[in-house]
Amino acid sequence: MRSIFISIMTFLMMTACTTAPEVNIGIVPAPVSVSVKEHGRFALGDNITVKAASEDLLAPAAVFAEQAGRILGYVPEVMSGKSGRNAICVSVDPSLEKEEYRLKVTRSGITVRGGSGQGVFHGLQSLRQVLVECKDAGALPLMTVEDRPFFGYRGMMLDVCRHFSTVDEVKEFIDILSMHKVNTFHWHLTDDQGWRIQIEKYPLLTEKGAERKETVIGHASKSREYDGKPYGKGMYYTHDQIRDVVRYAADRYIEVIPEIEMPGHTLAALASYPELGCKGKGYAVATTWGIFDDVACPGKDDVLRFFEGVLDEVIELFPSHYIHIGGDECPKTRWKTCPYCQERIRKEGLKDEKELQSWFMKKMEQYINSKGKAVIGWEEILEGGVSPTATVMCWKHPEIGIEAARLGNKVIMVNSQYSYFDYYQAEDTSKEPFAIGGYVPVSKVYSYDPYDSLTGDDRKPVIGVQANLWREYIRDMSHVEYMVLPRIAAMSENGWSYDRKDYEDFVLRMDGLRMLYDINGYNYAKHIFN
């Protein structure tokens, strides 16, 4: 029955734009329902306006008008108002859920109603896809779209530590997320290879910790050759720049979650303030990729005070509900021989170094909670026990996500075998840009089941999905675009349309997004379009 429905809908949508050349109208991620009339149209003239029913909708209306201008050839005027001919009228409907929307195209105009400004913005992004597919036909079909997301959390992570992105490039990344109805930008700001956020209390973090003396050439696992070129001087975000990015994201209804890695992946911090480590000396910002034995020392009270000082400034800058505190890939080698760590284990009655990490992470969570925020950590925060109020980001072992869900922790699924966009998109890598390895084509991303083997009530703690872009080998924005697009569309449909996925139909519906990629000049992989 579903395949028959899809065939009928595809036929109707392909013939609905007028007698002009056939147009395949498809919205990604898949809406809950689309109904298209066989006759009638809304003409795309040069006098379309965008009318906002309330003042708070003027900002999203303006963002959309600028986006529509790239399609229509002119930027529609934005004004206050609830109705009008040849107008796109946007309004909030309290009867709808926050991210839910209703899009209706009639002969006289277009209406977009959302449960909030965010719902309105999602509806406008769907309209954007319809516009680009029908621009050559000069008219839109008469249609009604009803839509809402399945998962509340739909995220994408960008690593700016290994290779940096300018503020304008970060904004472009946010534009890509909003186009795909991704509502969370996870910003990976600190790591072994560079500290990328200004902390006024600790200026050496960016004076020393932002720059490495050189970078490994080729795959780190196979090469010990280096380029001999310093990288990262001045490559960090000031407080004002971060506020600018957060505002830009908010105008597109995207929450920005900062990540401050601890207690592992902290070499850049240790190089800046050596007393934070167990040895207390001999640290340098990492010049290669991997996992390093030198990590922050949880046995020293000053280390707790340091991270609290960092978090104070981070929390002031980011209005997000969550703060991500890392917790992954933290070797315990130094802790086993560190007198400070061993004394902490003895004093706190801990069983081992794993429980020491758990003790440290719980201390950080308590501090963050005291500031009115919640914590996300990678799955390793489960080692040695975890607070039931922490949200776990499961990336490596699906069974850990299952365990966390059954413990009652909220879980975000980021399975690396499906959701790591630093992996290759083709089996034949000879014509692909350099990547870390692996093979994750669009079809594999799409096939991911975030519920894995969870059933019934065990599914409730899973709040959403995310994809990650680690940038050991991804140097510039063109490469970022290629690795993300169009895989982010498949991830988006996993999160937004989990209960209505169909891969063959998804590929058909991708034409509109592909046109938007072209209009915006994005560099994207074309495997599914061949």
Active site residues: 191, 265, 329
* DSSP H/E element including 437: strand 437-439
Q: How far apart are CA 131 and CA 341, in angstroms?
A: 61
Coil, helix or strand for 528? helix
Amino acid at site 318: F
DSSP state of 233: T
Q: How far apart are CA 304 and CA 290, in angstroms?
A: 25
How are strands ordered across the β-sheet holding 101-105? 33-43, 139-147, 101-105, 109-114, 87-92, 49-52, 77-80
Name residues whose C-beta falls within 8 Å of residue 385's C-beta, 6 or more positions apart in sequence: 355, 358
Q: How far apart are CA 436 and CA 429, in angstroms?
A: 11
Q: How far apart are CA 238 and CA 240, in angstroms?
A: 5
Please list the alpha-helical segments (H only) found in 453-502.
Answer: 477-484, 487-496
Q: How far apart are CA 482 and CA 475, in angstroms?
A: 12
Q: Are 309 and 272 in contact (CB under 8 A)?
A: no
Whose tokens are 């802790």? That residue is 335
Q: Are 386 and 361 in contact (CB under 8 A)?
A: yes
Concatenated DSSP letters of 93-135: -TTS-TT-EEEEE-SSEEEEEESSHHHHHHHHHHHHHHHHHHT
Q: Taking Cα atoms as reference points, which of 329, 281, 275 lies closest to residue 297?
A: 275
